[in-house]
Structure 1
């Protein structure tokens, strides 16, 4: 049986990951900040274990890593924040900006650190959900705070990936597309179902080695 752990599992892309993996018979550890209020998540059938987790609480991430003592075939670091409350340059709310970095940049790093041993046991795959907005080469000035948090994520995960290569663990970074979620908005052209189906295909194809920034449709994006 495939065992998967997903952060930010209560809505959007994370919720769809749970649906698709559980629907194929995987055991899913579904992590979110408020499991008691995650009605859509609790309504999904399958072998699903809910965990209360805020990825910006690094001690809690470490504690959950110690609690889940089983091999993990796939870890999807999906939890993220949009950064609308950071304000604009000239009037940044730096406390909000700092929290954005904690969630989007350091949260996945803490997740990789906490669940690295379980991934090594399974020779598994770690997938961090990034964004094309984190591409420095394609930087446009749009959503600079959010873009900065994703660029930082890309650098961190790319730098840490070699630590897992010899253990047979594949580490990757993925752009889900512009997805029709609470964060992406109703005008987004990609559905969660399409995005996650594509992401799962890319995750399945991962091999240990130096990661690239890969879109849900297989396109390789510039750093």
Structure 2
């Protein structure tokens, strides 16, 4: 069966991805900053749980070395934070903004760079990044500048990456999971994690190199940049 590596797998969408892929018989490598506290993740049968701090070079390099020789069909960059919101111009907390950019825009590329050899050695050769509709400049409705800008930066980096690795047969895509009922999305969101991940997995299952560098909704619709 194929292998998937999922970052930020201890809760929300990441945990649901873990449950669904494991239930379908995939080999699942699920990561969390502190596996000792990831009780729900460790309770999923047959899952390999690994420690990973996506913002730390040494942590990422250590896991990549530990998994040397493992073929990763789908590298799923899911870890992310919302950061503080509601700042008006003149009140922006730039340290907080830097943290959001570090986690949401820089860290996924750090992880991807380390695991590209594992992906390239696989059959599917897919790298998926969980982004957001809020990354779209065309669809910008204002507010949440920290989060929006971090996801827009991620999208541009992935667009560049997709062009660079296309000749190696590696597909790179960014995806919007919908407004999901998680700790980040809140209880008033539109859809459940099951609905979101079921849709995302269907889109991922239909990926090929012709779709590299594109921006998809969880229902398969393509978003404007």
TM range (shorter): over 0.9
Shift of 1:116: 0.4
Write the distance in 1 (CA, Å) between the matches of 2:89 and 2:214. Answer: 30
User: How many Å separate the matches in 1 of 2:156 and 2:23?
Assistant: 33
Q: Report whether the alignment pairs 1:120 with 2:120.
A: yes
Mapped to 1, the partners of 2:62 and 2:198 lie a distance apart of: 31
CA distance in 2, matches of 1:75, 1:116: 9
Structure-2 residue corresponding to 1:184: 185
SS of the aligned residue for 2:175 comes to: strand
Q: What is the CA deviation profile of residues 10-46 of structure 1, one whole-angstrom value per residue up to 9, with x for unaligned ones?
A: 0000000000001111111111111101111111112
Per-residue displacement from partner, 1:164-199 (whole Å, max 9, x unpaired)? Answer: 212221111000000000000000011000100110
Measured against aligned partners, the alpha-carbon deviations of 1:26-73 in whole angstroms (never above 9, x if no partner) come to: 111111111101111111112x11111121113321221122111101
Does structure 1 conserve the Cα–Cα contact (< 8 Å) formed by 2:84 and 2:96?
no
* Correspondence list, 1:24-43, <5 A: 24-43=24-43
1:51-70 map, 5 Å = 51-69=50-68, 70=70
Tell me what 2:14 maps to.
Answer: 14
Q: For residue 216 of structure 1, what is the aligned residue in structure 2?
A: 218
Work out the number of aligned pairs and report it.
222
Correspondence list, 1:1-223, <5 A: 1-46=1-46, 48-69=47-68, 70-84=70-84, 87-123=87-123, 124-209=125-210, 210-223=212-225
Per-residue deviation at 1:86?
Answer: 8.4
Unmatched tracts of structure 1, length 5 or more: none
**Cα RMSD (Å):** 1.3
For each residue in 1:142-162, what CA deviation from the matched residue of structure 2 results, as whole angstroms up to 9, or x when unmatched? 211100000000000011112
- Residues 51-104 of structure 1 show CA distances to partners (whole Å, capped at 9, x for unaligned) of 111211133212211221111011100000001268443222211110110100
Q: Give me the TM-score of the superposition, normalised by structure 2.
A: 0.95
How far did 1:111 drift? 1.4
2:121 match: secondary structure: helix
Q: What residue ranges of structure 2 are gaps of 5+ in the alignment? A: none
Shift in CA distance, 87/34, structure 1 to aligned 2, threshold 3 Å:
farther
TM-score by length of 1: 0.96
2-structure distance, mates of 1:208, 1:89 = 41
Look up the SS of the partner of 1:217 in the other structure. Answer: coil
1:56–1:99 Cα contact (<8 Å) kept: no
- Shift of the 86–31 alpha-carbon distance from structure 1 to 2, 3 Å rule, reads farther
